[in-house]
Amino acid sequence: MRSRSGGWLLAPALLLLLVAFVVPVGMMVPMSFRPYVPLVGITDGFTVRYYTKLLTDSYYLEIIGRTLALGFTVTLATLVIGYPVALFLARTPSRWRSWLTILVVFPLMLNLVVRTFGWIALLAQNGLVNQALRALGVVDAPVKLLFNFAGLLIAMTHIFLPFMVLVLIGAIQNIPRDVEDAARVLGASWAGTFCRVTLPLSAPGILSGSILVFVLTISALVTPRLLGGPTYQVMATLIYDEFLQRLNWPAGSAQALLLTLMVLALVYLSGRLARRTGARA
Amino acid sequence: MSGAAPALSVRRLRKAFGAVLAVDEVSLDAAPGEFLSLLGPSGCGKSTLLRMVAGLVEPDGGQVVLAGEDITRVAVHRRNLGLVFQSYALFPHMTVLDNVAFGLRRRGVGEAEVGARVGRMLELVRLGPLGARYPRELSGGQQQRVALARALVTEPRVLLLDEPLSNLDALLRDEMRVELKRLQERLGTTMIFVTHDQAEALILSDRVVVMEHGRVEQIGRPEEVYRRPATPFVARFLGRANFLTGTVAGSEADRTVVALDGGALSIVAGPRPGLVAGQAVHAVIRQESIRLESPGDGAGPAGPNRFAATVVFHAFAGQAHHYVVQLGDGRELAVAAPGAAAPLARGARTLAGWRPEDVTLLPGGEPGPGAPR
Amino acid sequence: MTAARVRGWLLRAWVALAFAFLMLPVVVVALASLSRTSYLTVPPRGLTLHWFTQVLGDAEYVQAIGFSVLLALVATAGAVGAGVAASFALIRRRVPGGALVSALLNAPLVFPAVVVGVALLQFYAMVHLNGSFVGLALAHMVITAPYVVRAVTASLQGIDPELEHAARVLGASGPVAFFTVTLPLIRPGVAAGALFAFIVSFDNVPVSIFLLGAGQMTLPVKIFTAIEYGVDPSIAAISTMLIVLTGAGLAVAERWIGFHRFV
């Protein structure tokens, strides 16, 4: 009888991952410790200066802080906007449900550059948002919405909202309706049922949706680059400039590894947390 | 079972999943044309045994011999066996015709012959006009028949059936039992039938293999395993029985006397050579073997195995009355009386009696799988 | 029940606003592409299809579209091949360290794409794959394969393994059982995974932008650099074409395989 081990079936995928993912990312570790000398290039030797600079220099600390702040606010905004949408889509008996879900998927599938471009048109000095604000008499002069935190927050909330909604739909659909009905029969109000039953039971979805949005936000390159320009930097655009403008690969590698470390730590911690809450539930 | 070479032999077959021994050195033979049931509770290893015969599970040791040929190392698809799955496993993306034709096409049979043989097989299982349907458009019973047709059309040397009737409702199950038995008599195919339903095994089988914890407890004709269970497990698993523990008080040529634990009562069983006085035994008495008589009928508690009793529970179940009666020493016996008989009320005084030959004596110790046979 | 009805309407209003927020940039781009003005403006002043003909007449855009399609097709083929085999192994076979393998296969989903991009930029420079189509295609396979694995895994989990066993007992070898029984049954999952892979590859900027060699240009990187130079309605026109194509593709995929089940 044939062996039931799946080794050779996994070989192509694992080989691909090894060659084009694991080894290249691993090679960044030694690179991040090599000294870069302007006009000479990457030299032999060993230095930790790129790490110390990242963690002490106020320029880098501000960028790291800004990246994390964006991560938190975008995650919170997508959660607040997205939860009711997910609740509706998960529970509506409408025969349009699958098409409404596809409408959430649509922006996700649409080219990211195109979506970001839409926000440029909306948030520019003479863009639609400023036109509307002035027409409504809210402001007199145009509000600056590009190349700052507000613009990035709005656009990235839009871009990552579908991820949050889709994860939450899955989590809410997994809650048995009987449990909510039981709470109602036992005398809980709608709000009580929601706060004590629905919300806690969708906590795993809230956690994984939040981690996903946070990780994607702090890793994002295209939207911060196009809406923040070369001056309003986040970690991803910093790495981009280090590699393509300044050609300082060791510094870029150190920055890329720090970003990777932050992402992996978050994913790992959320996994631990999910297992603990899962075990308790 | 004498003379002819077995259609299928299993020799010292063994399989462990991790630390659990699923099948522990099982050996058995199926004669050509025999209907053999593997009966046991879920997890007893009967399905694993069947899957090792089919080649879907690789044994850790032992042999599977098909008509004299060792097929232990032969690939699944070269064994030419039929297997009917509990879930039927009909291919949902194929019509009934394509499902049944699947095995023939894999064997390179020409399309003209495929058509003819599939048509004949569908007639045989009374599905003639439904060939163009998809499995989801069929009832449970019809799906079951497609699964049978698909397994039989390649004329397998042995047909294996893995709890094929357990997904049907009770009425349909009775119908399909009859149909399966007829099909087997007509085609003469050797069938190995896995079930946890003792009634099904008794009705269908030429012989029953009772399994527990990966081992064979008893192999025998249905009356054999039912009337003369070899182990306490078999006695408990087949039918409803009362277990009384005691010690052998006397073993004679025509009878064996057992003093029940507690000392007050003793019962009489048929002759059981090999048992010696003082040996601990279990006395097994089936519920339907016990008769209840009103005390006025006879001359009081005379003769062997007649005890005064009080009815403490009664329930009517259609074909039977279920009673629990209490004997003089306080022990309780479960009794099944024919449903047509007049019921006894709770509290009624009665006589409980049974024939010595209805008592099965099993050597003592704790009733369980470790009991010697 | 009035309180419940008010809640219902409030929820609907919120959902409607959220959908409006989701669709707003899309609508704005489509409108801007129709403006007669040479600068970007919404609502459009005058109506014209001039920007569409200009983009389609621009050799750089046409070549970028062709290159992106080719790259996405190659990446999808590779990702589907490796992904379907890996999914089958993970679901149907015993794989030592299966959880770890599965985590590794899915890692590119949450791994910062920009890091993958710069890591490959360095690595390809060392092994002299820089600027090569092979290197670019391998990179795209790595970032698209997880989508295939996810969709196909979900599909396989819904298929009774007994169907393969049945095919085997009926005389089909392992590969024959896979191609006659399993593959036809997981076709929706494979199709959804392939569609995902194609779109993810076709849209990618943060990996491609580091790996494109001289004379190579993908459509999204082309639009990205065009925006950095300055926005005009021709960018809106090419964007609108992508909006229409994506929308139509999704609608077809939903009708055909119920695409939303795989997201």
- From A27-36, B85-94, B174-183, C176-185, the region with the lowest mean pLDDT: B174-183
Q: Which residue of chain B comes nearest to A3, CA vs CA?
A: B58
Q: What percent of chain B has pLDDT over 70?
A: 94
> Could A117 and C105 be called an inter-chain contact, meaning their C-beta atoms sit closer than 8 Å?
no
Alpha-carbon distance of C69 to C202, in angstroms, equals 7
A185 pLDDT higher than 80: yes
* Per-residue pLDDT tens digits for B318-365: 889 999 999 988 899 999 999 888 888 899 999 999 999 899 998 875
B373 pLDDT higher than 70: no
Name which of B246, B252, B287 is nearest B267 in CA terms: B246
Alpha-carbon distance of C195 to C263, in angstroms, equals 11
- Neighbouring C-alpha atoms within 13 Å toward the C-beta of B79: 31
Count CB atoms within 10 A of the CB of residue C160: 15
Asked if the bond preceding B129 is cis, omega within 30° of 0, the reply is: no
* Residue predicted with more confidence, B205 or C257: B205
Sign of the Cα torsion A190, A191, A194, A200 reads negative
Whole-number average pLDDT of chain C = 92
For residue B321, give both structure tokens. Answer: 């009355």
Q: Are B362 and B371 in contact (CB under 8 A)?
A: yes
Name which of A212, A184, A210 is nearest A197 in CA terms: A184
Q: What radius of gyration do chain B's Cα atoms show?
A: 25
Distances (CA, A) of B322 to A188, B317, B337, C77: 47, 7, 7, 69
Within the 215-234 window of chain C, which residues sit less than 8 Å (CB to CB) from chain B? Answer: none
Distances (CA, A) of B83 to A121, B47, B135, C261: 66, 12, 18, 34
> Could A244 and C126 be called an inter-chain contact, meaning their C-beta atoms sit closer than 8 Å?
no
B314-342 burial: b if 16+ Cβ within 10 Å, else e: beeeeebbbbbbbbeeebebbbbbeeeee
Q: For residues A131, A137, A140 and A144, what is the CA-based torsion angle, rounded to 10 degrees?
A: -50
Sign of the Cα torsion B37, B53, B31, B28 reads negative
The DSSP symbol for C180 reads I
Alpha-carbon distance of C198 to B160, in angstroms, equals 46
C67 pLDDT higher than 80: yes
Name which of A1, A2, A3, A4 to mutate to probe chain B: the one with the most chain B Cβ atoms within 10 A of its Cβ: A1
Count CB atoms within 10 A of the CB of residue B62: 17
Alpha-carbon distance of A196 to B16, in angstroms, equals 46
What element of type H or E holds B324?
strand B320-327
Q: How far is A5 from chain B (nearest CA, A)?
A: 13
DSSP letters of A141-202?
SPP--SSSHHHHHHHHHHHHHHHHHHHHHHHHHTS-HHHHHHHHHTT--HHHHIIIIIHHHT
Residue the block writes with tokens 């009425």 = B171
pLDDT at residue B221, as a whole number: 96
The DSSP symbol for C111 reads S
CB contacts, 8 Å: C94 with chain B: none
Task: Name the pLDDT band for A276 (thresholds 50, 70, 90).
Answer: confident
Count CB atoms within 10 A of the CB of residue A31: 23
- From A87-96, B78-87, B147-156, the region with the lowest mean pLDDT: A87-96
B116 pLDDT higher than 90: yes
> Could A4 and B75 be called an inter-chain contact, meaning their C-beta atoms sit closer than 8 Å?
no
Q: Which residue of chain A comes nearest to C201, CA vs CA?
A: A111
Q: Does B58 touch chain A (CB under 8 A)?
A: yes
Name which of B58, B93, B95, B107 to mutate to probe chain C: the one with the most chain C Cβ atoms within 10 A of its Cβ: B93
For residue A236, give both structure tokens. Answer: 């991803």
Q: Does C77 touch chain A (CB under 8 A)?
A: no
Q: Are B23 and B15 in contact (CB under 8 A)?
A: yes
> Could C169 and B102 be called an inter-chain contact, meaning their C-beta atoms sit closer than 8 Å?
no
Q: How far is A113 from chain B (nearest CA, A)?
A: 41
Q: Are B258 and B339 in contact (CB under 8 A)?
A: no
* Per-residue pLDDT tens digits for C81-128: 999 999 999 998 888 888 888 889 999 988 999 999 999 999 999 999
Task: Name the pLDDT band for B293 (thresholds 50, 70, 90).
Answer: confident
pLDDT at residue A1, as a whole number: 33
Residues A108-124, mean pLDDT to the nearest whole number: 93
Q: Does C113 touch chain A (CB under 8 A)?
A: yes
Q: Are C67 and C218 in contact (CB under 8 A)?
A: yes
The DSSP symbol for A5 reads B
Point out the residue among C162, C171, C184 whose CB comes nearest to the CB of B85.
C162
pLDDT at residue B367, as a whole number: 41
B152-179 burial: b if 16+ Cβ within 10 Å, else e: bbbebbbbbbbbbbeebeeeebeebbeb
What element of type H or E holds A244?
helix A235-244
Residues C216-233, mean pLDDT to the nearest whole number: 91
CB contacts, 8 Å: A1 with chain B: 55, 58, 73-76
Point out the residue among C15, C116, C227 whose CB comes nearest to the CB of A88.
C15
pLDDT at residue B372, as a whole number: 36
Predicted TM-score of the model (pTM): 0.86
B363 beta partners: B281
Alpha-carbon distance of B146 to B118, in angstroms, equals 11
* Per-residue pLDDT tens digits for B59-113: 999 999 999 999 999 999 999 999 999 999 999 999 999 999 999 999 999 999 9
Q: Are B66 and B79 in contact (CB under 8 A)?
A: yes
Count CB atoms within 10 A of the CB of residue A45: 9
> Could B87 and C160 be called an inter-chain contact, meaning their C-beta atoms sit closer than 8 Å?
yes
Q: Is A199 left (phi over 0), alpha (psi -120 to 50) or beta?
A: alpha
DSSP three-state, residue A136: coil
For residue A167, give both structure tokens. Answer: 């994860």
pLDDT at residue A2, as a whole number: 38
pLDDT at residue B97, as a whole number: 96
Q: What percent of chain C has pLDDT over 90?
A: 73
DSSP letters of B264-308?
S-EEEE---TT--TT-EEEEEEEGGG-EEE-TTTTTSS-STTEEE
What element of type H or E holds B16?
strand B8-17
B258 beta partners: B248, B267
Q: How far is A30 from chain C (nearest CA, A)?
A: 12
> Could A13 and C86 be called an inter-chain contact, meaning their C-beta atoms sit closer than 8 Å?
yes
The DSSP symbol for C94 reads B
B113: Cβ contacts below 8 Å, ≥ 6 apart: B104
Sign of the Cα torsion A152, A158, A163, A164 reads positive
Residue type, C81: G
B54 pLDDT higher than 50: yes
Interface size, chain B vs chain C, as Cβ–Cβ contacts under 8 Å? 64
Point out the residue among A119, A158, A240 whose CB comes nearest to the CB of C22.
A158
Alpha-carbon distance of B333 to A149, in angstroms, equals 83
Task: Work out the end-to-end distance of chain A between its first and last CA atoms, rounded to an integer number of angstroms.
Answer: 43
For residue A6, give both structure tokens. Answer: 């799946």
pLDDT at residue B302, as a whole number: 59
> Could A117 and C227 be called an inter-chain contact, meaning their C-beta atoms sit closer than 8 Å?
yes
Interface size, chain A vs chain C, as Cβ–Cβ contacts under 8 Å? 266
pLDDT at residue B297, as a whole number: 59
Q: What radius of gyration do chain C's Cα atoms show?
A: 23
- ipTM of the modeled complex: 0.91
Task: Name the pLDDT band for B1 (thresholds 50, 70, 90).
Answer: very low
pLDDT at residue B2, as a whole number: 47
CB contacts, 8 Å: A110 with chain C: 26, 242-243, 246
Distances (CA, A) of A44 to A54, A239, A250, A254: 21, 22, 11, 16
Q: Does B223 touch chain A (CB under 8 A)?
A: no
Q: What radius of gyration do chain A's Cα atoms show?
A: 23
Q: Does B89 touch chain C (CB under 8 A)?
A: yes
A97: Cβ contacts below 8 Å, ≥ 6 apart: A89
Q: Does C183 touch chain B (CB under 8 A)?
A: no
Alpha-carbon distance of B239 to C213, in angstroms, equals 80
Point out the residue among C160, C162, C176 whose CB comes nearest to the CB of B106.
C176
pLDDT at residue B365, as a whole number: 58
Q: Is B5 left (phi over 0), alpha (psi -120 to 50) or beta?
A: beta
pLDDT at residue B371, as a whole number: 34
The dihedrals phi and psi of B36, each to the nearest 5 degrees, come to -110, 130
B147 pLDDT higher than 60: yes
Alpha-carbon distance of C37 to C32, in angstroms, equals 9
Neighbours of chain C (3+ CB pairs under 8 A): A, B
* Per-residue pLDDT tens digits for C180-209: 999 999 999 999 999 999 999 999 999 999
Residue type, A270: S
The dihedrals phi and psi of B39, each to the nearest 5 degrees, come to -115, 135
A3 pLDDT higher than 60: no
* Residue predicted with more confidence, B31 or B270: B31
Q: How far is C156 from chain B (nearest CA, A)?
A: 14
For residue A274, give both structure tokens. Answer: 């999910």
Q: Are A258 and A218 in contact (CB under 8 A)?
A: no
Alpha-carbon distance of C183 to B217, in angstroms, equals 43
> Could B75 and A2 be called an inter-chain contact, meaning their C-beta atoms sit closer than 8 Å?
yes
B149 pLDDT higher than 90: yes
* Of B121-125, B327-331, C79-83, C254-258, highest mean pLDDT: C79-83
B369 pLDDT higher than 70: no
B179 pLDDT higher than 50: yes
Q: For residues B192, B195, B199 and B203, what is the CA-based torsion angle, rounded to 10 degrees?
A: -20
What element of type H or E holds C148?
helix C133-157
pLDDT at residue C242, as a whole number: 94
